[in-house]
Chain A
Amino acid sequence: MPPPAASARYPSPSQPSGKSEVTDLKSQLRQLAGSRAPGVDDSKRDLFKKVISYMTIGIDVSSVFGEMVMCSATSDIVLKKMCYLYVGNYAKGNPDLSLLTINFLQRDCKDEDPMIRGLALRSLCSLRVPNLVEYLLGPLGSGLKDNNSYVRTIAVTGVLKLYHISASTCIDAEFPATLKSLMLHDSDAQVVANCLAALQEIWSLEASHSEEACREKESLLSKPLIYYFLNRIKEFNEWAQCLILELAVKYVPSDSNDIFDIMNLLEDRLQHANGAVVLATVKVFLQLTLSMTDVHQQVYERIKSPLLTLVSSGSPEQSYAILSHLHLLVVRAPFIFASDYKHFYCQYNEPSYVKKLKLEMLTAIANESNTYEIVTELCEYAANVDIEIARESIRAVGKIALQQYDVNAIVDRLLQFLEMEKDYVTAETLVLVKDLLRKHPQWSHDCISVVGGISSKNIQEPKAKAALIWMLGEYAQDMSDAPYILENLIENWEEEHSAEVRLHLLTAAMKCFFKRAPETQKALGIALAAGIADFHQDVHDRALFYYRVLQYDVHVAERVVSPPQQAVSAFADTQSSEIKDRIFDEFNSLSVIYQKPSYMFTDKEHRGPFEFSDELGNIPITPEASSEIVPAQQYEANDKDLLLSTDEKDDNKGLSSNNGSAYTAPYESSNISSQMQELAISGPAASATTTQSSFDFDDLLGLGLSTASVPTPSPPLLKLNPRASLDPRAFQQKWRQLPISSTQEYSVNPQGIAALTVPQSLIKHMQSHSIHCIASGGQSPNFKFFFFAQKEAEPSDYLTECIINSSSAKAQIKVKADEQSTSQAFATVFETALSKFGMP
């Protein structure tokens, strides 16, 4: 119970509302403290209750600490409990006063009543005051040996608490060994369960720096131990069962008999009423059978039913948790759930977070046999009162249409949506029709006739408007009044707020012009003029570019703007399979709910620096661009770039405007060039290449943004190109291909460590030594940088990964080089540069 929240609201204890009452309490407590009159316990109880209720509502009552401790000499268990509660709350903030409590808590730890012994021990361990740790050892030691299991369960968790306050004290007292023997021999299930929890935590935290702990951690997963737990699993309560199942997941079975033995032992757990136990069991089953394809499928069949039951019972929140897991399974093996589609029909009163998951599942399991029913059901939701769900369901219909070969019926449905004449339905549908046409151009005839009938005035949403305009441009020859609609839109150029729409308008006008020049010429003229005068950089650039290309040669322009369209075969999946597998490995945790692996959302400190050292593919690569980026943004970018790999959907849009608006390049020339590239390549990775091209232009123009103004001091053995450039993708590729040519560890001088706290300082410093940073990230104490350098006058690159631990003041360097012979020389240069970091 942390007081900070309270003190935040009541900044000082002298606040009038609290003070007088607290002083009152103080004097009353003082009177009672020494009294031995009959009935005194009752009045004490009332007072204590008052103190605790103040504490709860946030009034700081820490000033009565002394009096509370004085009153604690009582045999009344209720009073004692309240006192423990109070002490536990305020001890951390008052380490000096806490010393007072040690005495009575230690005495209570020897009480004849095991209840009091247990409670006192728990409070003692919960004080969380590091310098009182020594007083814990004795009571904990005897608590672990207590003949009452209640005390032992508390003592076991107490050891874990001690470990978190002071790991070394805990290890030195050899508590883990004691816990281990308790775990193997204690007769009480809860004691054993707590031992398991504590040991798992202690050993996995210790494992990073102690080999012994690492071995111990492994030994928890040994076959005899796993069977020891699994055979007695029924003796444990439901929560402890979860713990054991979680352990069993990590066990690597020796052969298939082993696998079947475990599954037989655990099969009845699937019938348990506690959803957490069922999910944990499901996880064991899934992980065990990963290597056995057909058994794995049978597992899916077996777990389907219990999971569906869990979904339909319990609160919406609980079913949400279960549904998220079911969602994961459905997406992994849609065919297994194909016949159960009715379970995923939405009920009218369900919360929208449940409905959303169900819609996604319906989309995933749609196949030839059930598409008709599913789409019919989804169409019902399109008329839903909840607009968000209505939109989702239209999108779902669209997704199914894109998955299926037989889209005939679905196209009809989509077109019916357009007839519903609801703004948001029309808007969503237009976007879908656009996507559908990109994949199945053969449907253009049916769609266009309906789309042509839609009045552009009724469409306000930029995405829908852009979709409509795209269709107008693309199918200008089939829609008789396309040029006139476009003309109308162009006339209202000023009122169009979305740059995306204006960009599309330009392109559509161009396309229309190529097909029906006489009718469009005037409109195109107006559009180009308006575009060039536009305040938005991208719109301006695109208009200017179109203008110049047209000036150069109309045929070239047509080839650039309106090349023969190829049907898109598949839309990019939003998540890589690697990420999906990772989420699957973390079944039964938050990862599944968030639909992203845990490293993306848990604290960076939990991740540890080495977890990803060798797989560059997964780690952040931020284009460092130039030193202009504000540090705050830089860090934010680092947080986001983890998602880089997942965010690449939609890049294969032919004339995507997203790329254009994703950045704002400062110079006109560079931007036009990027436009050119975008059009020429018009494929994925456009944004990355554009960044690169702006580098080149900077160099060409001699603006020297990314170059060093400080000359390299004392020319080293190896001359490096101060204007080296390398784009992140090329870096990434090289990093994968090249072998490590040298690995070194240096110590960083203290000034350097101090300077590290200033963001970008190291990057700037290294840049002045012609070593450029391409990506960086991390949080204290671990920082990670990727640098590159180029040999002067030769296209030979040096790539470096540098991990600096600010608490140990060590830097780990890995160098990869095109030329192995000079890599050592480069390492020396790097070391010299690094050693000067932080020096004035």
Chain B
Amino acid sequence: MPVAASAIYFLNLRGDVLINRTYRDDVGGNMVDAFRTHIMQTKELGNCPVRQIGGCSFVYMRISNVYIVIVVSSNANVACGFKFVVEAVALFKSYFGGAFDEDAIKNNFVLIYELLDEIMDFGYPQNLSPEILKLYITQEGVRSPFSSKPKDNKPVPNATLQVTGAVGWRREGLSYKKNEVFLDIVESVNLLMSSKGNVLRCDVTGKVLMKCFLSGMPDLKLGLNDKIGLEKESEMKSRPAKSGKTIELDDVTFHQCVNLTRFNSEKTVSFVPPDGEFELMKYRITEGVNLPFRVLPTIKELGRTRMEVNVKVKSVFGAKMFALGVVVKIPVPKQTAKTNFQVTTGRAKYNPSIDCLVWKIRKFPGQTESTLSAEIELISTMGEKKSWTRPPIQMEFQVPMFTASGLRVRFLKVWEKSGYNTVEWVRYITKAGSYEIRC
């Protein structure tokens, strides 16, 4: 039976219970003590997010300064449990206005209890959609929207359908003065490069994030320059595909609002969007990734007390674009005593707590390069034969209006029966995921 949880606990870092809810009687109330003594107070913490103690399994996650622990005694569905926690946290965040931490929980515990009752019943997850829950779980104390006595003259939407029904993610009767859609393509580039400059692994995980302020029940259609979609389109319109870059998506997943049957037959992304912010789709690309930065490190160990570090960073995106918030973390040995460095742009600093030279460049234009050269003096440790294991150089950056995959929005059509005009905004941004260069 795919029970997701028998009980759920919210603990702070010391192990105090902030909130607890038992859904089924098959786990005892003292289970949280077992979690405290066997996991929180031992080195086990963080070793494995699923642990068994006694007859119970603990599935836990840390989110900011809170541990969320799910307890089950049967052979539960773990993926479902984790997903439930993630979704629940997203729900709480949308209620608390973005923050989820110990204080937020303490300030809203009554609300959380209420929500916990709504989103799961007897261990089975129910509706977790913030859009719908916000309709009737409030701390305002108003009568619910089901109430037969509407307070003002607003038409009472059909709440029955909304709470549990087919289009569970959108309610009827929304209206906006200005109909706007915001679409962001956010990509993170993951790179693992060997010290010789070979790309060992490289992929892009992208998200299409949307923010919709649209009246009524609009139908949206999104066209991208992905290969399958373009081919399908040219096939249907029986005209040759336009030349230009097409992107091959390795895998795509969609928000539940996307009509997957239509995607499979026509390869178009069509959907009735939820109101407000949501993640429309996720994709992954491994072929033809444009790396925004090249990093060329040379590290020389001169004897036992001196090192020379030279790192050159090249931006390889368009000259009109620029990257923001570039941070290059260059690892140095623990016994670093003194550092001397010059940089051509930005500022660098030695941060002993993470054993890194941290080099920050606020704005990095395209098609340029920048170097850091440093001399490092080490404390000589007698008898210490251990050589330094060189951790990789890590990079953080954001490149607006650039996609590492080359993905572009070709069109975004909004159709609603009242036929209003909409304003569409499209943005692109590429961020560093895990961008590692071995040295």
Contacts and interface: CB of A to CB of B under 8 A. Distances in A.
Interface of A: 1-5, 8, 41, 45, 49, 52-53, 56-58, 76-79, 81-82, 85, 112-116, 122, 128, 148-150, 153-154, 157, 160-161, 164, 188-191, 193-194, 197, 200-201, 204, 234-235, 237-239, 242-243, 246, 267-269, 271-276, 278-280, 305-306, 308-310, 312-318, 320-322, 324-325, 342-343, 345, 347-349, 351-353, 377, 380, 383-385, 420-422, 586, 588-594, 598, 601-603, 606
B18 A421 contact: no
A309 B434 contact: no
A606 B129 CA distance: 34
B389 A318 contact: no
10 contacts: A58-B17, A85-B117, A113-B144, A153-B121, A164-B24, A193-B124, A309-B251, A317-B49, A383-B390, A592-B78
Contact of A150 (B57, B60, B164): B164
Nearest to A238: B256
A114 B80 contact: no
B276 interface: no
A590 B75 contact: yes
B83 A318 contact: yes
Contact of B29 (A3, A116, A324): A3
A53 B256 contact: no
A348 B122 contact: no
Contacts of A308: 250-251, 284
Contacts of B144: 77, 113-116
A56 B55 contact: no
B200 A313 contact: no
A128 to B, nearest CB: 7
A590 B127 CA distance: 24
Contacts of B16: 57
B121 A383 contact: no
B74 interface: yes
Contact of A594 (B52, B163, B281): B52
A275 B77 CA distance: 11
Nearest to A390: B389
Interface centre among B117, B139, B190, B200 (most CB of A within 10 A): B117
B253 A53 contact: no
A1 B21 contact: yes
Of all A-B residue pairs in the complex, the 3 with the closest CB atoms, nearest first, are A2-B29, A268-B260, A115-B144
A150 B160 contact: yes
A592 B33 CA distance: 26
A591 B75 contact: yes
Interface string B273-289: 00000010111100000
Contacts of B436: 347-348
A5 B17 contact: yes
A753 to B, nearest CB: 24
Given A1-B22, A57-B16, A112-B147, 9 more contacts: A4-B28, A113-B144, A268-B260, A271-B254, A276-B77, A278-B253, A280-B77, A315-B61, A589-B77
A2 B142 CA distance: 30
Contacts of B200: 342, 345, 377
B426 to A, nearest CB: 21
Interface in B43-70: 46-50, 52, 55, 57, 60-61
B73 interface: yes
Contacts of B284: 305, 308-309, 312-313
A313 B205 contact: yes
Contacts of B33: 5, 8
Contact of B250 (A79, A114, A305): A305
B221 interface: no
Contacts of B48: 320, 353
Contacts of B17: 5, 56-58
A657 to B, nearest CB: 29
Given A115-B146, A128-B25, A242-B2, A188 B109 contact: no
A556 B61 CA distance: 62
B13 interface: no
Nearest to B24: A164
Nearest to A602: B75
Contacts of B387: 420-421
Interface in B109-168: 109-110, 113-114, 117, 121-122, 124-129, 136, 139-144, 146-148, 159-160, 163-166, 168
B391 interface: yes
Contact of A189 (B80, B165, B264, B282): B165
Q: Of residues B48, B78, B283, which shows the largest number of chain A Cβ atoms within 10 Å of its Cβ? A: B78
Contacts of A342: 200-201
Contact of A194 (B121, B251, B264): B121
Interface string B168-210: 1000000000000000000000101000000011010100000
Contacts of A161: 122
Contact of B125 (A149, A239, A384, A594): A239
Contacts of A598: 75
A606 B253 contact: no
B57 A590 contact: yes
A809 B134 CA distance: 55
Nearest to B60: A317
A292 B434 CA distance: 40
B146 A148 contact: yes
Contacts of B74: 602, 606
A114 B162 CA distance: 14
Given A128-B25, A308-B251, A81 B114 contact: yes
A213 to B, nearest CB: 15
B352 interface: no
Given A148-B146, A189-B166, A312-B190, A348 B391 contact: yes
B228 interface: no
A41 B136 CA distance: 19
B418 interface: no
Nearest to A341: B201
A592 B192 CA distance: 29
B19 interface: yes
A53 B143 CA distance: 24
B83 A8 contact: no
Given A115-B144, A593-B50, A273 B434 contact: no
Contact of A49 (B110, B129, B166, B264): B110
B143 A601 contact: no
Given A271-B260, A352-B47, A318 B251 contact: no
A282 to B, nearest CB: 10
A313 B188 CA distance: 10
Contacts of A315: 61, 82, 86
B78 A8 contact: no
Given A4-B29, A274-B83, A317-B49, A589 B75 contact: yes
A157 B122 contact: yes
Nearest to B56: A603
Contacts of A190: 126-127, 163-164
Contact of A237 (B28, B50, B256): B256
Given A353-B48, A589-B78, A2 B2 contact: no
A243 B82 contact: no
Nearest to A152: B164
A599 B190 CA distance: 40
B232 interface: no
Given A161-B122, A273-B256, A276-B79, A309 B282 contact: yes
Nearest to B139: A78
Contacts of A385: 389, 391
Contacts of A351: 46
B193 to A, nearest CB: 11
Contacts of A81: 110, 114
A431 B166 CA distance: 60
B201 A588 contact: no
B227 interface: no
Contacts of B72: 590
B70 to A, nearest CB: 11
B263 interface: yes
Interface in B247-271: 250-256, 260-261, 263-264
